[in-house]
Amino acid sequence: MAAEEESEMSEVLPREILKPFNKMPVRNAATVLLVGSYGTGKKQLAKSMVDVCTDTGLKLQVRTTTSLPLPEENTDTRPRIDYIAFIIDLTNRLSFSTVQSAVQCVDVEYFLGRACFVVTNVKGTSDHCVEMEEVSRLADMYNTMYICGGIKEGDPDERTTLANRLLQLVEVSAGRKNVSPLLVDLTCRQLSFQEEQTEFYTV
């Protein structure tokens, strides 16, 4: 069954998978990659992140893309990607499906605290085309946290708040805070430990 399903998908070549530790880090600098389809507000978010960062002494570079894998021509000139933020707009089904296909091109190491899902347009459930449940299922499958925020709607303050939250995570993965991103990731999610209930599993 697994073999059939794998053959139906297009193969992701090993050289296309984005890896965090292929390149050397740069002192006092960080690079963030924002992945999201057209119209989700990546450029606005990028601008507000850079604005917040100008006075903290961290040189931030924000790259945006609508799909992964990234083009090969830039592989040598591109710096090390410290953090990846996948942007999902709940009123846009296409953004969810591009994120679903993009997460396959990312190495496992990123999901240990160096990536997150940013969910926008969460308020106003009458416009939702993607259920929040599907997003949380995706996030659980990749063991990665998701942040709800507003980029295009609402006040510009919401965007600044979201940018600040992302920046705190970026600083941890860039190595500025003397704490491993995996530790931060573990403390960020609500988990409860339950005894196994065998009736939920079938063989």
Partner 1 sequence: MPEDFDTPDHDVSTPVTGVSSSPGSERNTLRNTRHGAGAKDTPHGEGGASLSVSKLNRTVQRGYLQRKYTPYRTPRTRSMVSPAADRTNTAEVAAPPDWSSLVRCSLSVYHVTPLYRCCWDRAGLKQLSGALSLHLAQLATAAGDNMYRVSITAKENTDDRLALEITVKRTDMTGRAGSLYAVLCNMEGEVTQLEQGAFTVLPLLLMTGPGTLQNAVGSWLEQRFDCRVCPMTFQPSDLLWAMALGLIRGTNDKVKKQTLDLHYNVPLKEAGLSKISLQIPVKHAKALLSSVTEDTENDLQLDELHLFRQALEAHMFHYFRIHLDTMKLCLVATPVLFVDKNGRLKILSVNHAPAVLRMMTSFAFERSPLTMCLKAANESRM
Nearer to partner 1, 2 or 24 (CB): 2
For residue 68, give the nearest of 98, 38, 113 by alpha carbon: 98
Applying the rule CB under 8 A, the residues between 149 and 188 that interact with partner 1 are none
**What is the chain's alpha carbon radius of gyration, rounded to the nearest angstrom?**
18
For residue 114, give the nearest of 43, 178, 33 by alpha carbon: 33
Tokens 């990749």 found at: 142
Nearer to partner 1, 56 or 183 (CB): 183
Rounded CA separation 42/99 (Å): 13
Contacting residue, 22, 28, 39, 123, with partner 1 by CB under 8 A? 39
Applying the rule CB under 8 A, the residues between 121 and 140 that interact with partner 1 are 125-129, 131, 133, 136-138, 140
Rounded CA separation 67/13 (Å): 15
Q: Give the H or E element holding residue 119.
A: strand 115-120
Nearer to partner 1, 77 or 190 (CB): 190
106 binds partner 1 (CB under 8 A): yes
Residues making contact with partner 1 (CB under 8 A): 2, 5-6, 8-9, 11-12, 17, 39, 91-94, 97, 100, 103-104, 106-108, 111-112, 125-129, 131, 133, 136-138, 140-143, 189-203
